[in-house]
Amino acid sequence: MKFDVDHFNPYFTLNHTISSYDVDVDKKLAIPQIFSLFQEIAYRHVVQTPWSWKALQNQGIAWVLSKIRIHIKQLPVWNDRITIKTWPIGADGLNAYRRFSLTDSEGRELLNADSSWLIIDVQNRRLQRINKEEFMAIVPEEAVAIKRIAKIPAPSALKIYDTRYVRLNDMDMNSHVNNASYVEWALDTIPMDFYKLHTITSVDVDFLREVEYGEKVDIIGDDEIKCVRCSGQDKDMCRVRFQWAPLKSTDTTQKAG
């Protein structure tokens, strides 16, 4: 079936109720789960287009997340009803850009994100060029374009926080380490006492190189930026930057209650 761009809605929404498996120890939407929800809505949005998972698989290629910047005003909690919205915002030779917005049941924005995506050959893992003209045809005219997302700098220190192996549950359906797994690894370096007294305000991730199943990886960095490296190597495979703010006294009182 030929794709009819004139009848394609560039905006796509997904309603979701925060379940027990979505939340962290504070009953707030867990950061890695945000990545899973973004993946799902992006997948559903293009399911009837030439850029769907199935259409790309038939060509031996697949989407991978390259960079993402998430700005968090407030995290929803268990049983909250939310709406996730996404739309494409541009493309260049290799990158396709997509924006996300998450709102509560009253339409208030809780968080938003800008992201860039690449297409790779699933066999040799080489990057494939995106047909910019075709992709830009699905970008809404009123969309606010973004410049290429800046890289996360190298951390100021290289303390080793954790060492682990890439296991079965870290992989996705493209035999690729799930982008949420990298975030989980970095988040696991945060001490519980710190986590309980702070709220996260932003998450930035740069996916630089692929980690493969069975590899041993180190999570290194400083208090702000964590890097994933294959043990014994000096190249970053992924960089994750968390920014935090101290909880207000009312928030800590509610937690204690």
**For residue 223, what pLDDT is reported?**
93
pLDDT mean over 70-86: 98
**pLDDT averaged over every residue in the chain:** 92
Give the Å distances, CA to CA, from 153 to 67, 71, 212, 236.
13, 18, 24, 11
Please choose, from the candidates 11, 29, 58, the residue with its C-alpha nearest in 3D space to the C-alpha of residue 183. 29
Please choose, from the candidates 226, 196, 206, the residue with its C-alpha nearest in 3D space to the C-alpha of residue 24. 196
Contact 38, 45 (CB under 8 A): no
Strands 12-17, 61-72: pairing is unpaired
Question: CA 53, 117, 21 angle in degrees (round to 5)?
Answer: 70
Contact 63, 57 (CB under 8 A): no
Q: For the segment 212-246, what is each residue's pLDDT rounded down to a tens digit?
A: 999 999 999 999 999 999 999 999 999 999 999 99
**For residue 166, what pLDDT is reported?**
97
Q: Please, which pLDDT band fits residue 251 given cuts at 50, 70 and 90? A: low
Q: Please, which pLDDT band fits residue 256 given cuts at 50, 70 and 90? A: very low
Question: CA 205, 36, 99 angle in degrees (round to 5)?
Answer: 60
pLDDT mean over 57-65: 93
Percentage of residues of the chain with pLDDT beyond 90: 81
Is residue 37 scored above 70 in pLDDT? yes
